[in-house]
Structure 1
């Protein structure tokens, strides 16, 4: 296996030379020929909210489609994915050269309170037991849907929490006892209150958070994935909610305040992750698109890149520049923290120490994990 020396800036690395050899990171020069790799290097990007095994029908996603999604992500510099709920268990598709997937089992929701086909539907009394079942299917995460529109109230229908706070707290405690962390889908401000009191580990979206809630989340070490591109669709969602004027107003308000709210998150010292909230296969909604959208909305580029790379990896318990860590690295010819558009143009992507590309024709560098040289 070829060896490489990263000769440019190493983001998130305090000091020292770094090589990639025998598939891993090393601080010791390997024997034999070494190829110099110039450019600004980061530990491989992490899409912290994606669904490569998801299907919007009763039929599961097939192997070819899951691999296409993983390939699209990898071509964008993503070497790890935290899967936030999916019907298909993608563990059987793990292989060298493919992005690593941290699974969370399936979404847990209530009947008629989430998107059809996606979730396991339970009542509050069964939430803790289901959290344990999904923890057993995952890699240290459980995904719970915290709120959704309750259409039973007619014109007064609005976002409502799915769970009594006590039931949510019991489920979080059960997951923690099983060694798993809990990520909660939370749009509404009321749901965030429940999330913080229940002890969840990560808030997905957080589109209704107040500044006080942001400060409290940071103080408790609660991670937040703002899914900027997803929140930007709220106006479109509201446009289709004519029968539910209260819900429509709420979605429009969160959409209108999304830039202000992101600035407050930055000011509050939020522990950010960066995620696309997609199945990973849409080239118009890749992680670089999400990062660029966050920066356009006011998040400092350094904060966004850290959350998508070395800081996000640390928050998720993934290795970065440590000796012996997988050789998962993304390199840019120009500094994305100076010009964020560069994040969409990686010059080299290494997975397990192998330079890879987005080729889809079976040539070297495809998801089989072979070298592109």
Structure 2
């Protein structure tokens, strides 16, 4: 019997008085949690069963689609126990679904621990030799890229992460790490292996290349232009926002300014345009998904800082919920609060569609039907 099975057979009975927010414009008055799963109608209950009543607005657990479990503060791999502690910090902030966007360690054992958020893994970053943070990625040359993509597709959960651009020290600025044909070969290898592929991208020049190649998702995407926004929207490709990380671009610029002034100026321009670019992408119909880039440079448990950044970019409270709760689950094929789904949810005292900040004031975090925070 798996950890999840044990949780479901021992979880208490919960009566969620609601309302239950199934989507931006879909709700119902209440629900029940029995055997760790959501029931929209009251099921038959065992005689004498103890029922725990819960008042408040109920939404699916939040999602972080760009998180790194197993990368220590300042870089380097953690132990598995330390990665577990990172996941617990995220869980207690209300994040119950994580797409790990690349880890130094094999964090797959965390998937067997039923008190942790649901984890969907990309495996390890793939990067061009000497074109990424030291020690983070499997660094390789173009001729080895398709085989590496195939390998990581097998190691992960249907996702591969490629570092699309980084500073080129010979040029002194951000440039794509790969030629057009390399991006095509990487996407083809991922899709042939039954996986989807996403890319870290800051630079403007990278986006047309990955769009031409057929990539499935974009991380950061700070280099979006009017033209690439139109293309991304038309293709329905989501952008994982990571605005809390983009805010750190001033730090990166300052660190590199003496040797690479063009890079520093470029990073500052990207940071300065982050809110306008995010709002323009949203207004054009680009799906936005919340991600924090936690792990390494940034600590864990900062999903609410990311939601505040989306607010600063001009998204409404309901649009923020869409990016943080409903849309990520649809995109990853993870259940929400439909009848029979695992009871992974949070309860808040007021309507988060009116003010997203109420998500910081959770009364309950429920994972697999068990109250964990």
Give the unaligned 5+ runs of structure 2.
1-10
Q: TM-score of the superposition, structure 1-length normalised? A: 0.90
1:229 aligns with 2:244: yes
Q: Which residue of 2 aligns with 1:90?
A: 107
CA contact (8 A) 1:84 1:143 kept: yes
218, 223, 230: which one pairs with 1:203?
218
Q: Which residue of 2 aligns with 1:29?
A: 42
Q: Which residue of 2 aligns with 1:74?
A: 91
CA distance in 1, matches of 2:87, 2:57: 24
SS at match of 2:292: coil
Q: Which residue of 2 aligns with 1:147?
A: 165
CA distance in 2, matches of 1:18, 1:318: 19
SS at match of 2:239: strand
Report how far residue 300 of structure 1 moved.
1.8
CA contact (8 A) 2:275 2:312 kept: no
Alignment of 1:177-256 (within 5 A): 177-242=192-257, 243-256=259-272
Report how far residue 318 of structure 1 moved.
0.8
Structure 1 residues 40 and 253: alpha-carbon distance in aligned structure 2, compared to 1, 3 A threshold:
same
CA contact (8 A) 1:280 1:286 kept: no
Report how far residue 15 of structure 1 moved.
4.7
1:137 aligns with 2:147: no
SS at match of 1:142: strand
CA distance in 1, matches of 2:299, 2:256: 28
Report how far residue 63 of structure 1 moved.
2.5
Instruction: State the superposition RMSD in angstroms.
Output: 1.9
SS at match of 2:311: helix
CA distance in 1, matches of 2:136, 2:296: 16
Q: TM-score of the superposition, structure 2-length normalised? A: 0.90
Q: Which residue of 1 aligns with 2:82?
A: 65
The CA deviation string for residues 88-110 of structure 1, in whole angstroms up to 9 with x for no partner, is 12121231121111111100001
Q: Which residue of 2 aligns with 1:326?
A: 342
After the TM superposition, which parts of structure 1 deviate over 4 Å for at least 4 consecutive aligned residues?
A: 55-59, 280-285
Q: How many pairs does the alignment contain?
A: 354
